């Protein structure tokens, strides 16, 4: 078999995964695209292992390690995504803008408004959240805790 | 491949101490492969399965139905497993089926359900920078395909196995794994344990901490809630 076939397939899979990582908005879809990129790397490793006939079988051993690390990565990644969804009500990656630099006055006003919105108990709406400050988060935590526990059981 | 070069490939011992010597000994084989216009049966099957895999991957990243994306991912990962089989890496193929198709996709489906993914078409599945992403990935694909095809145009993988267990069988892989790769293997088990503990810690709710504070003060923010 020509080496060009599996190498080209791996390159194209990697680029499809690259497009998915850059273009998707839902965090779980981004994780799926990351899996595609990891599979492209695995295909390359297996191909070159078969071509070189390595006596240590480095390619296939590293492929097994990569698969195991990918399994660990998807577990941790999904746990983080679920945590973000539980806290923010959304798992869209471009709405998580806490670390964006803003003016202080604007941030304070926005945070106050959001604390009010959250205190009113509309946790499931998509109106939650593009940006929250730490203080606003604490306030909303208290408000949520005061209201009821049923509101924070989406998961 | 002509019988002379095949005999040459099989006559030399396959247990080289250094792979570089073997690489240099493979170079004369590269001249004797058939051209791209007369593909072998394995190559035809590889191309067809590769087209299916690539199409499933593209549908995975462009579809607007989230659950369908996960199911097309199954097709793509299964296609990659078939490619492993065609490359004589049998053990890797079954590990791929077991771990990726069996557990990773199930985890992703559970994640989609737990984040209340919409069942139908969701209009905001793609972000606004989709065209930038398309340009970047097309540029990367063009560059990489050019480089890879130009580099490996004349390289031939000899899939013929000598008598005995194949290169990718579980016997050979197990021997290599537990003879040369024991320490990384054990480190990987520690990593899996850490990932397990971390996932549990991340996803459990801190009911005990909340009960302890009694709702009087702000709950601890370090571990989330």
CATH of the domain at A30: 1.10.287.3510
Instruction: For residue B221, give every residue at least 6 positions away whose Cβ sits within 8 Å of its Cβ, in sequence order, or none.
Output: A134, A137, A138, A141
Q: Is residue A93 situated within a structural domain? A: no
With an 8 Å Cβ cutoff, are A26 and B176 in contact? no
Residue B70 has pLDDT above 60, yes or no: yes
User: DSSP states of A80-146 as a string?
Assistant: HHHHHHHHHS--BGGG--TTS---HHHHHHHHHHHHHHHHTT--SSTTS-S---HHHHHHHHHHHHH
**pLDDT at residue number A49:** 92
| Separation of alpha carbons B89 and B73, rounded Å | 21
- Total count of domains within chain A: 2
CB B117 within 8 A of CB A26: yes
pLDDT at residue number B203:
82
B148-191 tens-digit pLDDT: 999 998 888 888 777 677 778 888 899 999 999 999 999 999 99
The answer to whether B152 contacts chain A (CB < 8 Å) is yes
Is the CB of B199 less than 8 angstroms away from the CB of A6? no
Within a domain: A132: yes
> Do residue A11 and residue A45 come from a single domain?
yes
Average pLDDT along chain A: 76
Kindly tell me if the per-residue pLDDT of A109 is higher than 60.
Answer: no
Q: Using 50, 70 and 90 to split pLDDT, how confident is the model at A108?
A: low
B65 or B12: whose pLDDT is higher? Answer: B65
With DSSP H G I counted as helix, E B as strand and the rest as coil, what are the percentages for chain A, rounded to 5? 75, 5, 25
Same domain, A36 and A111: no
Same domain, yes or no, for A63 and A109?
Answer: no
Q: pLDDT tens-digit profile of B190-205?
A: 999 999 999 999 888 7
* Residue with the two structure tokens 């004797």: B32
pLDDT reading at B122 higher than 90: no
Residue A69 in any domain: the answer is yes
Nearest CA in chain B to A57: B176
Task: For residue A110, give every residue at least 6 positions away whose Cβ sits within 8 Å of its Cβ, in sequence order, or none.
Answer: A131
What's residue B156's pLDDT? 87
Residues A103 and A62 in one domain: no
- C-alpha span between A101 and B120 (Å, rounded): 36
The full set of domains in chain B, from first to last, is 19-122+129-159+167-213 (1.20.120.1200)
Higher pLDDT, residue A1 or A113 = A1
pLDDT value of residue B190: 96
Domain end marker among A36, A64, A88: A88
User: Does residue B214 surpass a pLDDT of 70?
Assistant: no
pLDDT, position B215: 42
Is the Cβ–Cβ distance between B92 and A50 less than 8 Å?
A: no
pLDDT value of position A111? 58
| B150 contacts chain A (CB < 8 A) | no
Q: Which two tokens stand for residue B156?
A: 């031939």
Do A120 and A74 share a structural domain?
Answer: no
Higher pLDDT, A31 or B211: A31
| pLDDT score, position A115 | 53
Q: Which long-range contacts (CB under 8 A, 24 or more apart) does B112-116 make?
A: B112/A28, B112/B66, B112/B67, B112/B70, B114/A82, B114/A85, B114/A155, B115/A26, B115/A28, B115/A81, B115/A82, B115/A85, B115/A91, B115/A155, B116/A154
Asked if residue A78 and residue A50 are part of one domain, the reply reads yes
Give yes or no: residues A13 and A84 share one domain.
Answer: yes
Clarify whether residues A74 and A26 are in a common domain: yes
ipTM over cut 0.90: no
Domain that holds residue A24: 4-88
Give the model's confidence band at A89: pLDDT under 50 very low, under 70 low, under 90 confident, else very high: confident
- Select from A8, A65, A85 the Cβ nearest to the Cβ of B188: A65
Q: Are B173 and A60 in contact (CB under 8 A)?
A: yes
The DSSP string of B8-71 is HHHHS-S--S-HHHHHHHHGGGGGGS--TTS--HHHHHHHHHHHHHHHHHHHHHH-S-HHHHHH
**pLDDT for the residue B116:** 82
CB distance A12–B16 less than 8 Å? no
A154–B195 C-beta distance less than 8 A: no
Distance from CA of A132 to the nearest CA of B (A): 14
B59–chain A Cβ distance below 8 A for any pair? no
pLDDT(A92) > 70: yes
Q: Please check whether residues A8 and A84 belong to one and the same domain.
A: yes
């Amino acid at each position: 078999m020509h080496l060009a076939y599996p190498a080209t397939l791996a390159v194209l899979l990697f680029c499809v995964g690259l497009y998915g990582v850059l273009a998707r908005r839902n965090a779980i879809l981004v994780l799926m695209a990351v899996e595609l990129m990891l599979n492209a790397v695995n295909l390359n490793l297996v191909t070159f292992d078969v071509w070189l006939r390595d006596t240590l079988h480095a390619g296939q051993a590293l492929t097994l390690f990569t698969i195991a690390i990918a399994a660990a990565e998807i577990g941790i990644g999904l746990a983080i995504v679920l945590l973000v969804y539980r806290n923010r009500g959304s798992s869209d990656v471009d709405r998580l803008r806490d670390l964006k630099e803003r003016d202080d006055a604007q941030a304070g006003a926005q945070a106050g408004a959001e604390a009010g919105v959250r205190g009113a108990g509309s946790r499931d709406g998509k109106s939650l959240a593009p940006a929250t400050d730490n203080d606003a988060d604490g306030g909303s935590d208290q408000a949520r805790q005061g209201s009821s526990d049923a509101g924070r059981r989406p998961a | 491949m002509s019988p002379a070069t095949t005999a040459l490939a099989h006559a030399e011992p396959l247990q080289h101490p250094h792979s570089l010597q073997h690489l240099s000994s493979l170079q004369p084989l590269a001249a004797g492969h058939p051209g791209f216009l007369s593909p072998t049966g394995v190559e035809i099957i590889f191309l067809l399965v590769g087209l299916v895999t690539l199409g499933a991957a593209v549908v995975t990243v462009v579809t607007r139905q989230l659950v369908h994306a996960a199911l097309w991912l199954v097709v793509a990962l299964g296609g990659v497993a078939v490619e492993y089989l065609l490359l004589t890496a049998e053990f890797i193929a079954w590990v791929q089926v077991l771990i990726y198709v069996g557990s990773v996709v199930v985890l992703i489906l559970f994640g989609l359900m737990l984040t209340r993914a919409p069942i139908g078409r969701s209009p905001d599945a793609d972000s606004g920078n989709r065209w930038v992403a398309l340009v970047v990935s097309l540029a990367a694909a063009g560059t990489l395909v050019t480089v890879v095809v130009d580099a490996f145009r004349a390289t031939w993988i000899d899939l013929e196995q000598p008598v005995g267990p194949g290169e990718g069988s579980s016997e050979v892989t197990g021997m290599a794994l537990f003879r040369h790769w024991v320490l990384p293997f054990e480190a990987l088990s520690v990593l899996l344990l850490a990932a397990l503990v971390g996932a549990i810690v991340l996803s459990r709710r801190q009911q005990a901490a909340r009960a302890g504070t009694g709702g009087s003060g702000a709950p601890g923010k370090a571990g989330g809630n």
